[in-house]
Chain A
Amino acid sequence: MAKSNHKAITEALLFTAGDAGLSNEQIAKALDISAQDVEELMANMKQTYQNDSSRGIEVAVFAEKYQFVTKKALSDYIKLLADSPSPSTLTQAGLETLAIIAYKQPVTRVQMEEVRGVKTDGPVHTLLARGLIKEVGRNEGAGRAILYGTTEEFLDYLGLKDLSELPPLPEDIEEDEKEDSDLFFESLKNGLSGNE
Chain B
Amino acid sequence: MEYTVKLDAFEGPLDLLLHLIQGLEIDIYDIPMAEISEQYTLYIKAMSVLELNTASEYLVMAATLMSIKSRMLLPKQEEHWEEDQDFEEDPREELVEKLIEYRKYKKAATDLKEKETERSMYFTKPPEDLTSYSQPVDSGEKTQIDLHDLIGAFNKLMRRKKIKQPMSTRITRQEISIEKRMSEILETIRSHRSPKPFSALFPVAEKPHMVVSFLAVLELVKRQEIHIKQDHNFSEIMVESIEGVSLVGQV
**B is bound to A:** yes
Instruction: Give chain A's interface residues, CB within 8 Å of chain B.
Output: 16-20, 60, 62, 67-70, 72, 75, 78, 81-84, 87, 89-90, 92-93, 95-96, 98-100, 102-103, 115-119, 128-131, 134, 151-153, 156-160, 167, 169-172, 174-175, 178
CB A182 to nearest CB in B, in angstroms, measures 9
CB B49 to nearest CB in A, in angstroms, measures 18
A69 and B235 contacting across the interface, CB-CB below 8 Å: no
Interface CB pairs A-B, < 8 A, 11: A75-B122, A75-B123, A83-B165, A83-B169, A89-B120, A93-B11, A95-B112, A115-B101, A115-B105, A119-B53, A153-B152
B104 and A116 contacting across the interface, CB-CB below 8 Å: no
A99 and B123 contacting across the interface, CB-CB below 8 Å: no
CB neighbours (8 Å) of A170 from chain B are: 104, 107-108, 111
B116 and A90 contacting across the interface, CB-CB below 8 Å: yes
Alpha-carbon gap, A172 to B102, bound state (A): 11
Alpha-carbon gap, A81 to B123, bound state (A): 12
Alpha-carbon gap, A68 to B126, bound state (A): 11
A119 and B124 contacting across the interface, CB-CB below 8 Å: no
- Does B115 lie at the interface of the complex (its beta carbon under 8 Å from any beta carbon of A)? yes
Alpha-carbon gap, A154 to B210, bound state (A): 22
CB neighbours (8 Å) of B131 from chain A are: none
Which of these, A17, A129, A158, contacts B115 with CB under 8 Å?
A158
CB neighbours (8 Å) of A93 from chain B are: 11
- Does B98 lie at the interface of the complex (its beta carbon under 8 Å from any beta carbon of A)? yes
Closest to A121 in B: B53
- Does B89 lie at the interface of the complex (its beta carbon under 8 Å from any beta carbon of A)? no
A83 with B151, Cβ < 8 A, contacts A98-B109, A117-B14, A117-B61 known: no
A131 and B123 contacting across the interface, CB-CB below 8 Å: no
Q: Return the CB mask of B193-237 against A: 1 if under 8 Å, else 0.
A: 000000000000000000000000000000000000000001110
Closest to B123 in A: A70
B121 and A16 contacting across the interface, CB-CB below 8 Å: no
A134 and B115 contacting across the interface, CB-CB below 8 Å: no
CB neighbours (8 Å) of B125 from chain A are: 18-19, 68
Q: Return the CB mask of B42-84 against A: 1 if under 8 Å, else 0.
A: 0000000000011001000100000000000000000000000
Which of these, A84, A151, A169, contacts B162 with CB under 8 Å?
A84
Alpha-carbon gap, A117 to B101, bound state (A): 11
Which of these, A17, A100, A157, A159, contacts B105 with CB under 8 Å?
A100
CB neighbours (8 Å) of A169 from chain B are: 104, 108
- Does B173 lie at the interface of the complex (its beta carbon under 8 Å from any beta carbon of A)? no
List which B152-170 residues lie within 8 A (CB) of chain A.
152, 155-156, 159, 162-163, 165-167, 169
- Does B127 lie at the interface of the complex (its beta carbon under 8 Å from any beta carbon of A)? yes
B126 and A172 contacting across the interface, CB-CB below 8 Å: no
B105 and A20 contacting across the interface, CB-CB below 8 Å: no
A69 with B104, Cβ < 8 A, contacts A19-B156, A153-B155, A178-B29 known: no
CB neighbours (8 Å) of A171 from chain B are: 104
Closest to B9 in A: A92
B235 and A116 contacting across the interface, CB-CB below 8 Å: no
Which of these, B116, B119, B234, contacts A20 with CB under 8 Å?
B234
CB B24 to nearest CB in A, in angstroms, measures 17
Alpha-carbon gap, A115 to B159, bound state (A): 32
CB neighbours (8 Å) of B57 from chain A are: 117-119
